[in-house]
Every structure is written in structure tokens, then in C-alpha cells.
């Protein structure tokens, strides 16, 4: 909103300063702004407040706003006597996390004196990563840039950061000359900006402090590791989607976002979404691109790990199976089980039922610090909450309850302990000590590494 208002005021001052050939009201009535058809709803709301019509330009097949679309629109509007004043480009669109082409858009904005604002609310945080340095191309043309630290930079809501090339345009827009606002420093000349004249409110909360604390606490490397973890988890989820022939990716995974849908009629994806919402095991958002509905799986929580990704996918896969969709020969469709026996204590062995078909856990085993022993394959497609199954007191088992449900029962998991990637029976102090020192259950090393995930409920997935 601040950028649109500043762009509007700048255009009015530019045209009226040349001479009184046109009135301010006439200019206001002919102003027009531009944004992609994939832009956030906040752009539309800001334009309503700023009283500047926004023309939504069609993005390409990848959801990217290109230079030719903007140039065509600008020439059309100039021919109609309209006055282009602002373009809101997006780095990381809400629907598919696409990136508008600033290298193409920037020169056009410069040629036609159009304010270029960049909305990087979610994906702006990824500019901390050198592997995404190419996204900075074209930023030299930008007049203002905003991103939300609360979306993907470990900062509590709300915290939005904005950069502006020339702050005088903000002062020209929001300056008000009231007696109770006067002070010794002239707002245009002081080296310490008077933010009262940079915005609509006179004051605001000290949001910068919590962002500063985050930067100081985690440092650049810590924040980069955090972002890369989410990107990696999203790629693992995308791999699961691609290996199931019932699903398709709408676009390549971008940052921590995966956009996917069921193949076939749009109604199938809509049905799946309704099933997921009614069962309330996971929360997911539906969106639409070029008339096709799809589901958005996005990794943004600091607590999200591979088990959560697997749980979400298993719920999605299970609900899809309940729709009785035809299945082909995809790897996820495999239902062959392998029983792996691990001796936890002398004379006591527990059977762990593991099904083929979920490549994410094969990857976990492959990347484990210790090579898995035995016939370790993967976790089944469709592990979800199921009905508890009675197990012998003092033992730990994963039990196959049907073709795509596995449960772990406790009772209430009270006697399950996890320490340093070890699992043991807390009801038996002597044997638990022995297990902790001698039995690492290497096949489940990565899966059972976090206690809070094991104790999440009495009936859980493999975690």
C-alpha cells in the first residue's frame, strides 16, 4: 500500500511540475497500475485503498510475468489516454512460488517511468542463500522491495521489512504539517529519518527488535541451514508425488512449496481436498492455476522433519486410496511387506513390519551415519492413525493392521524411551541400560531420532 501511494504521488508531482497543463484530479482519474494475475490479494486491497485501478496481466505457463505482457499492456493503456504509474512484481507468487522476470520488467518500467515494487513476502528470505543469487537479477531497477520475516525467517508475526530506493518519495506522500508534529530537525534534511512521514500511522511497534534478535541469535549460517532444511524436505515430498502414478506436479517444487494434484478431472482433486479437511489429520490449502485446482504442501514450521513429511504424504495417499482410484505400476503402489527382526535384549526379539513403497525412508537409511543392517526397505504408502492393537506388555512392535495402516501401541507409549537415537523399555531399568549401550536399532536411526515425535500419540506412524 505504501508503495502504491508513493508511486501515485510521484507520478502526480512529475506531471504537474512540468506546468499547469493538466490538473491533479485529471491525472488521478487516468492512473493505472499493473500486477500479475498470480499476485497476492494484498495488491488488490492496497489498490482499493489507494484508489488506483490495477490491471492484472496474464502470466506465462510457469506463472511468471514476462516483459512482453507488460509492454503490450502499457502501450494499450497509453493509447487510451491512461497513465501507467506502478508495477507490482512478485518474487515467489502465493499460488506456485513463481518469480516474475525482473530483468525483462525492469527496463520497461525505467523507460516509461513506472514505479517498480517487488513483493517478496515469502521467498525473499531465500535471497540469503547463494544458490538463489540468480533471483536478484533485475533488482537494480527496483524502487521498493518488501518481504515478511514472519513467513520464513524464524520471526514471530508480524514483521515485514521494506526497502525503498528514494525515501523522499515517501516523505512527499505522507508528510503532514501539524503544530504538534514539529520538532527541531526538518524531516527532509535530518540524517535520522522521521518515520512519521514515511507511513500512514504516526507510530508503530518496535518490530525491528525481534528481527534483529533473530539475526543475532542464528547468524547467517544458522538461517541458511534452516532454509535449506525446508527446501530439502519439500523436494523429498515432491519425490513421493512423482513416484505415485495417481498424482502429478503442477510445477517444479519451488523453495519449500510443492504444488500437486490428482491426475484426471478437476473434481478428483476437489474431492481429495474435502476428504483431507474432513479427516483433520493434516491441514493443506487448495489453489488454482490456469483453471486447474491443486493442493499446496508447504514446509515453513521450524519443527517440521522427515517424519512429518511422511505422515502428511501417507495421509494424502491413504485418502486417495479410499477414493478407489485406479493404480498403475508406480513404486508407491507396492504392498509387499518385509519383516525385520531386531534383538533388543538377550532372549527378546521384536518384529518390525515394514512395507516397500515409500522412497523417503529409503533415502533416510541411505543418508544415515551408520549403514542400516538387515532387510531394511521403507515405510508403506498410507500410514495413518489407526485403531490400537494389543501387544505384549513391555515389548515394542510395529503391527500391520491392514494393507496401508501401521500402528504403534504403548499402552499410551508410557514405556517407550528414546535417547540419542536409541529406543528402550523404561519399565525395565536393567535391560533398558543394556539396550541403550548395545542396541542402536540402526535401521530406524533417523526415524526415531526425536523423542517428541515418538510420543506424539498412542497410535502414530513409524515415528
Q: From CA 212, how far away is CA 206, in angstroms rounded?
A: 11
Amino acid 12: pLDDT: 84
pLDDT in tens, 91-147: 999 999 999 999 999 999 999 999 999 999 999 999 999 999 999 999 999 999 999
User: Which helix (H) or strand (E) is 317 found in, with range?
Assistant: helix 306-322
pLDDT in tens, 399-414: 222 222 233 333 333 3
The rounded Cα 336 to chain-centroid distance in angstroms is 34
User: Percent of the chain scored above 70 by pLDDT?
Assistant: 67
Q: From CA 205, how far away is CA 389, in angstroms rounded?
A: 53
Are the C-beta atoms of residues 360 and 310 closer than 8 Å to each other?
A: yes
Amino acid 112: pLDDT: 97
Q: From CA 177, how far away is CA 106, in angstroms rounded?
A: 35
CA 461 to each of CA 66, 279, 336, 355, 428: distance values in angstroms, whole numbers, following the listed order: 44, 16, 18, 13, 25
Which three three-digit cell numbers place residue 202? 504516526
Amino acid 336: pLDDT: 31
**Residue 454, SS3 per DSSP:** helix
Between residues 397 and 44, the one the model is more confident about: 44
Q: From CA 446, how far away is CA 440, in angstroms rounded?
A: 11
Which three three-digit cell numbers place residue 402? 491392514
- Which fold would CATH assign to domain 1-177+193-204? 3.40.640
Q: What is the average pLDDT across 413-419?
A: 35
Q: Which residues pair with 87 in a beta bridge?
A: 34, 116
Which three three-digit cell numbers place residue 256? 519449500
- Angle, vertex CA 60, rays to CA 125 and CA 100, nearest 5: 25
Please, which pLDDT band fits residue 186 given cuts at 50, 70 and 90?
low
CATH of 228-322, one of 3.30.420.40, 3.40.50.20, 3.30.460.80, 3.90.1150.10: 3.90.1150.10
Please, which pLDDT band fits residue 24 given cuts at 50, 70 and 90?
confident
Amino acid 356: pLDDT: 32
Q: What is the average pLDDT across 174-200?
A: 68
Q: From CA 258, how far away is CA 300, in angstroms rounded?
A: 12
pLDDT over 80 (residue 64): yes
**Helices (DSSP H) in 23-180: which residue ranges?**
24-30, 41-50, 67-79, 102-111, 149-152, 168-174
Q: Which residues pair with 288 in a beta bridge?
A: 293
Between residues 112 and 387, the one the model is more confident about: 112
pLDDT in tens, 329-382: 343 333 332 222 222 233 332 333 333 333 333 333 333 333 223 222 333 333
Which three three-digit cell numbers place residue 327? 493404480
- Which part of the chain is CATH 3.90.1150.10? 228-322
User: In 3D, which of 358, 340, 337, 331 has the Cα closest to residue 443?
Assistant: 340
Amino acid 181: pLDDT: 72
Strand positions, DSSP E, 254-356? 257-262, 285-289, 292-298, 337-345, 348-355
Please, which pLDDT band fits residue 23 given cuts at 50, 70 and 90?
confident
pLDDT over 50 (residue 431): no
Which three three-digit cell numbers place residue 283? 491441514
Residue 160: φ, ψ to 5°: -115, 135
Q: What is the average pLDDT across 422-446?
A: 40
Q: Which positions are catalytic? A: 40
Amino acid 184: pLDDT: 65
- Which part of the chain is CATH 3.40.640.10? 1-177+193-204
Question: In this structure, is the dihedral angle defined by the CA atoms of residues 273, 398, 302 and 256, taken in order, positive or negative?
Answer: negative
Query: Structure pTM?
Result: 0.69
Q: What is the average pLDDT across 153-177?
A: 85
The rounded Cα 208 to chain-centroid distance in angstroms is 23
Amino acid at each position: 500500500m505504501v508503495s502504491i501511494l508513493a508511486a501515485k504521488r510521484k507520478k502526480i508531482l512529475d506531471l504537474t511540475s512540468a506546468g499547469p497543463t493538466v490538473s491533479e484530479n485529471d491525472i488521478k482519474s487516468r492512473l493505472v497500475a499493473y500486477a500479475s494475475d498470480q499476485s497476492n490479494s494484498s495488491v488488490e486491497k492496497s489498490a482499493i485503498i489507494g484508489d488506483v485501478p490495477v490491471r492484472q496481466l496474464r502470466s506465462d505457463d510457469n506463472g511468471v510475468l514476462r516483459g512482453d505482457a507488460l509492454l503490450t499492456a502499457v502501450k494499450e493503456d497509453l493509447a487510451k489516454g491512461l497513465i501507467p504509474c506502478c508495477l507490482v512484481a512478485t518474487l515467489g507468487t502465493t499460488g506456485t512460488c513463481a518469480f516474475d522476470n525482473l530483468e525483462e520488467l525492469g527496463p520497461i518500467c525505467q523507460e516509461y517511468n513506472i514505479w517498480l515494487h517487488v513483493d517478496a513476502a515469502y521467498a525473499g528470505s531465500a535471497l540469503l542463500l547463494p544458490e538463489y543469487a540468480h533471483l536478484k537479477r533485475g533488482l537494480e531497477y527496483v524502487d521498493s522491495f518488501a518481504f515478511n520475516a514472519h513467513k520464513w525467517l524464524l520471526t514471530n508475526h508480524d514483521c515485514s521489512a521494506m526497502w525503498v530506493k528514494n525515501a523522499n518519495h515517501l516523505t512527499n506522500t505522507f508528510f503532514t504539517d501539524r503544530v504538534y508534529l514539529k520538532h527541531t530537525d526538518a524531516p527532509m534534511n535530518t540524517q535520522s529519518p522521521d518515520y512519521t512521514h514515511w507511513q500512514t500511522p504516526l507510530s508503530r511497534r518496535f518490530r525491528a527488535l525481534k528481527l534483529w534478535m533473530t539475526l543475532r541469535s542464528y547468524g547467517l549460517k544458522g538461517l541458511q541451514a534452516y532454509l535449506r532444511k525446508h527446501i530439502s524436505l519439500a523436494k523429498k515430498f515432491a519425490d513421493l508425488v512423482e513416484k505415485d502414478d495417481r498424482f502429478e506436479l503442477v510445477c517444479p517444487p519451488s523453495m519449500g512449496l510443492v504444488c500437486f494434484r490428482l491426475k484426471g478431472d478437476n473434481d478428483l482433486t476437489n474431492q481429495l481436498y474435502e476428504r483431507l479437511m474432513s479427516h483433520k489429520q493434516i491441514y493443506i490449502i487448495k489453489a488454482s492455476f490456469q483453471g486447474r485446482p491443486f493442493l499446496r504442501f508447504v514446509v515453513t514450521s521450524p519443527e517440521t522433519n522427515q517424519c512429518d513429511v511422511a505422515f502428511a504424504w501417507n495421509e494424502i495417499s491413504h485418502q486417495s486410496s479410499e477414493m478407489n482410484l485406479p493404480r498403475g505400476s508406480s513404486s508407491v503402489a507396492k504392498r509387499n511387506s518385509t519383516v525385520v527382526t531386531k534383538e533388543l535384549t538377550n532372549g527378546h526379539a521384536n518384529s518390525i513390519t515394514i512395507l516397500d513403497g515409500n522412497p523417503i525412508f529409503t533415502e533416510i537409511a541411505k543418508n544415515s551415519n551408520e549403514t542400516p543392517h538387515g532387510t531394511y526397505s521403507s515405510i508403506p504408502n498410507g500410514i495413518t492413525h489407526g485403531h490400537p492393537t494389543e501387544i505384549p506388555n513391555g515389548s515394542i512392535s510395529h503391527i500391520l493392521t491392514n494393507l496401508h495402516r501401521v500402528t504403534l501401541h504403548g499402552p499410551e507409549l508410557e514405556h517407550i524411551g528414546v535417547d540419542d537415537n536409541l529406543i528402550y523399555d523404561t519399565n525395565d531399568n536393567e535391560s533398558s541400560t543394556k539396550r541403550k549401550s548395545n542396541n542402536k536399532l540402526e535401521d530406524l536411526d533417523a526415524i526415531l531420532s526425536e523423542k517428541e515425535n515418538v510420543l506424539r500419540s498412542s497410535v502414530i506412524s513409524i515415528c
